[in-house]
Chains A and B, each alone.
Chain A
């Protein structure tokens, strides 16, 4: 018996001619939950924070400190993009543990979209920090002969960013499915605990690598 291919995803419904797949619907649900949660929690911010605000502030300043540690610059400019990326990835990776939900990052299109966002953000922040000429000149660093390699590495690192997230999340789900089919109902629970760790670590790694790439393009750290 062949299990369903992890490279294709189930179509839920069609919006006009556009097929809407299951990961897209899950992503919309996560976006709705995150947006509603943030709107609810930040509605009444006070100078003397309560418990929820305290936890939220801890999370946001924690991410900002991490960004500053990596880029050695103020993390304010990068915080909205990278913080959102990190929180979304944690929710998306862990959503696979809920019953009847598949992690959207376990299908190829969501990691591809996120990697494309990082790809364009790298150029945006690079041009903003160094100007168009300066940013283009940075591709010829340290020597002109490195120009093709630098251009190729722009593409390959985006690709590997996508494949890494997809491969890790998908292989975990696949493994749980196989063990469930072979061994029975409660056997894959330790594997699911491992999945929690893998999901959090992969969300962290994706965000750190995005930070490193953007920081390198903005010229604050050595080229990665």
Chain B
């Protein structure tokens, strides 16, 4: 296989495997936030703000994978 094919496969693998962890993490955090809001509806504002910030932090992991994939596809030093 030439480096181009390998880097395309690498990009696909980076996004597909790399999004598993953040997806599970985001699901858990949203579920926990739902639970918290159901128990304490008056704290919904604070909870959802913290949730958004936390989701952004978790999501960054998936975005890193996306950036790696883009680097492999568009700025690959080896292909």
Contact = CB atoms under 8 A, between A and B. Distances in A.
Contact of A6 (B45, B59, B70): B70
Nearest to A171: B66
A163 B70 contact: no
Q: What does DSSP make chain B's interface, helix, strand, loop or mixed?
A: helix
B49 A6 contact: no
Interface residues of A, number: 20
B1 interface: no
Nearest to A6: B70
A171 B59 CA distance: 13
Interface of A: 5-8, 69-70, 160, 163-164, 166-168, 171, 201-202, 204-205, 208-209, 212
26 contacts: A5-B75, A6-B74, A7-B70, A69-B45, A69-B49, A160-B60, A160-B64, A163-B60, A163-B63, A163-B64, A163-B67, A164-B56, A166-B67, A167-B66, A167-B67, A168-B59, A171-B63, A171-B66, A202-B56, A204-B52, A205-B52, A208-B49, A208-B52, A208-B53, A209-B53, A212-B53
